[in-house]
Structures are given as C-alpha cells and as structure tokens.
Chain A
C-alpha cells in the first residue's frame, strides 16, 4: 500500500488488488482496508497453492467459497472478483458459490498443484516441495474450466492460464471469458500483454469482427 500503489497510480490503467489470507477474519480485515483505497477492484485469492497456511481450503467447495465471499461482500463496495482453484473435481461448484455470495465475477484458473523432482539429488526442486504450475502447459485445462463455468454462471469470467499470444486469449474468450489476464507470460516477455492485445485485434480484422463481445462464449461444440 505504501510503495506499490503510488507507483501503480502513475499508469493510466485499472488497479485490481489480489487479496489472500489464511482465515475468514484475515479476508474480512483485508477487505475493510482495501475498501478505503483508491483502487478499482479486488480479486479474492482463495486458491493460492504457493502459500503455506493455504487459502486452498476455502476455494474447493461451494460452501467454502460462498462463506468467505459473503463475509467479504458485506464490507467491500468495490467490484469483487473471486479467483478459483483448478485443483477440484468440479470447478462449477465453487464458481456458483462465488456467484451466490454476490461476487461480480470469477477469475480462473489459478495454478495447478505440481511437483518436480531433481533426479540427481532425489529431492523436490521446490523448497516447499510442491507448488503452483503455470504457463502455456496449463492452457487446455484453463480453457476447459472456463467453458464449464460459463455454462453454469451468469457473472463475467476472467480467463487466465498460459496466455502468451492473442490466439490464446481468443481461445479463452470463445470458451466464455469476457476478460483475460496474463501472469507467467510477463516473466518471459515483459510486453506480452501488448502483444496479446495486438493479436486479438488481428484476429478481429481477419474475421471482420466489429465488437469483441461477439466472440465471448461463441465456441460451437462438436
């Protein structure tokens, strides 16, 4: 709040803060503070597998997501997005929990829980043993889950997971995402987001699409 917000304020763009905690009280306390800040929205991170005390527990069930989202909704007037974990058997259950608790949107997918082993040392590569898998390899999982959630919820979906090109973003949008975001892609090439926007524009020109909303959820299943 002291350092990052003033830095980000110099740019002409929306600021959405990703918020993570270990208990419901953490989330509520954080939301109260965030509500007072000059930001454009809050993304509730109920699903980060890189955090030890794990907010994972809240994110996996309809009830868990509904409970924490409801509590936060009571104290937060700003747009509220709930970020969902893919580490579940049915992604639509937590998505419905967020919608029923009054979330303005859901974002998916967070990272997939992974593990990688150094075969020479016979130890996991990560200090925490397991960690979040992201990047291009997770895109098919994300696209599938966005499609599944789009069939069940009415609130907007922010699609993410492995987007590095405009084509990747289009896939997510055809599956039902009204917005997309880029995480890992920025680590490879810092201007990935600009390239993604250019790629979306090129696709629209190629197919003579006037309004990008035309392609949201426009996939025709086989």
Chain B
C-alpha cells in the first residue's frame, strides 16, 4: 500500500562528488515495494521547493526495514536534499509506480544501465539472484573512470559484470550496448532490462526489437505529483496513430514499460 510517512535518515554516504546514498527507515514502504518503483521525497518541510522529487529505489533491506536511494545533485531540490542530516526525518510517499520489473526464472538475463540509471537496476538484479534461477549479466556504462560507481555491489548481484567507459579510461572502451551486442553473437539472452540515458534506451529498444528479445525499460520523467494526477510525465504509446497520439504516464503505467509498448 502507498503511504505518506516521515522516514528517519539512518545513514548518508557520499559516493562521489554530487552523488549521495541515503538509507532511511521506512518499514511500511520496504515491506511492499517492488524493484523498479520509486518514492516521492519532500526535500525540505518548508514551502520552497514546493513539489516532491521522484527518486528511484536502489536497495530494499527487507530484514531491517531500510530503503536506500541514490541521487545526483542536479538543481535546487537535490542540493537541499544533500544537506539533510542523519537523524532527520524525510517526508516521503511510496512505493510509487505500478509498472515494475518482472521477477521470474529466465535463462540468461542481460541488465544494461548507464550512469545514474544504474541505480534502480540494483534491487532488480538482487531479487533475480535471490529469488530466481536466472543467470544475470550486468552491463554498466559510464562516461569515464571517475563516474564508475558501486562496481563491487553490482558484482555481488550478478554472475558476470561488464563495465564500459565512453573514453576508455576504465573497463572496456565504448558503449555498454556494443558489448551486449557482441555477447549476443555467442548467446542471445531471453530477457533484457534497461535503464539509463535516452540514447542508450533507444538503442536497447531497437536492438531488442530486431532480435525479438523481451525487454523492459525504466523511464524517467519530471513529475509534479508522482501520483497520476498532474499528468505531466506523459510518454507516447507505441503504434498509436500520429493524428491522435495516445499517452501513458510514467508515474502510473510505469516507470517500467515493455520496450515494445512505448515510443521514446
């Protein structure tokens, strides 16, 4: 069930310059949250900034009722959030989103993410490893060595981990999608999950379609409410007529979609 609660910040880790991991005590949300869902955070309790910030869930510690999320400082809201302290309480709503990653037994799963789009994929990989027999290969793409994050953590929830950097300063040089394509020449996965920058998602979507691989992608959009009310986070449905396009909303139908269902 979705709840609005005050969750105590129990731990803050600065992962990189401008990249923070918050651990919050939120039993009610953790007990029912699914991989791919997000929470809506009031960065401060005052009136400015007014609107909540939607942030994806990184990790669910079901045993201790702790939810972890990672965010990059991008603007006013996230910089205020970064100034919050351990012991303070965050006003959050969650878990949000109805479209979640499908956890079931696959043969070979490819999980591909880019940059900060990696974070919602962690809980997915973890649950695939814990609850299913799937063989999980994670592909992580970053711009450069300095941005490579949580390598050890992702290694622990995968059978194989491939890291690429655009400039070749770490791991394999080039885009993560190219490594996925290369590996597919040997063995084609029966499922792809993806989250990351739009060009990467488009490439993954096209590749999955060409090869008839079932694929789920997690989309990001600016949201005023995250609750299906403001209708700001619209995404065009695939195959809808161009003269009367049909839309879904990322917060409600997503954030995870079947790649064949959306036009991105």
Q: Which residues of A contact B4 (CB under 8 A)?
A: 189-191
- Docked complex Cα distance between A191 and B4 (Å): 9
Contact (Cβ within 8 A) A187 B230? yes
Residues 182-197 of A at the B interface (beta carbon under 8 Å): 184, 186-191
A interface bracket (residues with beta carbon within 8 Å of B)? under 10
Residue pairs across A and B with CB atoms within 8 Å: the count is: 24
Given the contacts A135-B50, A136-B47, A136-B50, A188 and B42 also touching, CB distance less than 8 Å: yes
Q: Which residues of A contact B224 (CB under 8 A)?
A: 184, 187
Contact (Cβ within 8 A) B52 A187? yes
Contact (Cβ within 8 A) A186 B51? no
Residues 116-155 of A at the B interface (beta carbon under 8 Å): 135-136
Q: Which residues of A contact B52 (CB under 8 A)?
A: 187-188
**Any A CB within 8 A of the CB of B227:** yes
In the complex, the chain A residue whose C-beta lies closest to that of B3 is: A190
In the complex, the chain B residue whose C-beta lies closest to that of A189 is: B4
B interface bracket (residues with beta carbon within 8 Å of A)? 10 to 19
**Any A CB within 8 A of the CB of B55:** no
- Docked complex Cα distance between A185 and B250 (Å): 21
Q: Which residues of B contact A135 (CB under 8 A)?
A: 50
> Which one of A186, A189, A190, A191 has the highest number of Cβ atoms from chain B below 10 Å of its Cβ?
A190
In the complex, the chain B residue whose C-beta lies closest to that of A127 is: B222
The smallest beta-carbon distance between A195 and chain B, in angstroms, is 12
Q: Which residues of B contact A191 (CB under 8 A)?
A: 4
Given the contacts A190-B227, A191-B4, A184 and B93 also touching, CB distance less than 8 Å: no
**Any A CB within 8 A of the CB of B225:** yes
In the complex, the chain B residue whose C-beta lies closest to that of A191 is: B4
> Which one of B42, B50, B52, B224 has the highest number of Cβ atoms from chain A below 10 Å of its Cβ?
B50
- Docked complex Cα distance between A183 and B52 (Å): 15
In the complex, the chain B residue whose C-beta lies closest to that of A164 is: B47
Residues 24-75 of A at the B interface (beta carbon under 8 Å): none
Contact (Cβ within 8 A) B47 A187? no
Contact (Cβ within 8 A) B229 A188? no
In the complex, the chain A residue whose C-beta lies closest to that of B2 is: A190
Q: Which residues of B contact A190 (CB under 8 A)?
A: 4, 93, 227
Residues 151-198 of A at the B interface (beta carbon under 8 Å): 184, 186-191
In the complex, the chain A residue whose C-beta lies closest to that of B50 is: A135
Contact (Cβ within 8 A) B229 A186? yes
The smallest beta-carbon distance between A43 and chain B, in angstroms, is 16
Q: Which residues of B contact A189 (CB under 8 A)?
A: 4
In the complex, the chain A residue whose C-beta lies closest to that of B234 is: A127
Q: Which residues of B contact A136 (CB under 8 A)?
A: 47, 50
Q: Which residues of B contact A184 (CB under 8 A)?
A: 50, 224
The smallest beta-carbon distance between B242 and chain A, in angstroms, is 15
- Docked complex Cα distance between A189 and B4 (Å): 8
Q: Which residues of B contact A187 (CB under 8 A)?
A: 51-52, 224-225, 227, 229-230
- Docked complex Cα distance between A184 and B232 (Å): 13
- Docked complex Cα distance between A157 and B77 (Å): 36
- Docked complex Cα distance between A187 and B227 (Å): 8
Q: Which residues of A contact B42 (CB under 8 A)?
A: 188
Residue-by-residue, is B20-47 near A (CB-CB < 8 Å gives 1, otherwise 0)? Answer: 0000000000000000000000100001
Q: Besides A136-B47, A186-B229, 19 other CB < 8 A contacts?
A: A136-B50, A184-B50, A184-B224, A186-B225, A186-B227, A187-B51, A187-B52, A187-B224, A187-B225, A187-B227, A187-B230, A188-B42, A188-B50, A188-B51, A189-B4, A190-B4, A190-B93, A190-B227, A191-B4
24 chain-A/chain-B pairs, Cβ below 8 angstroms: A135-B50, A136-B47, A136-B50, A184-B50, A184-B224, A186-B225, A186-B227, A186-B229, A187-B51, A187-B52, A187-B224, A187-B225, A187-B227, A187-B229, A187-B230, A188-B42, A188-B50, A188-B51, A188-B52, A189-B4, A190-B4, A190-B93, A190-B227, A191-B4
The 5 closest A-B pairs by CB, nearest first: A187-B225, A135-B50, A187-B224, A190-B4, A187-B51
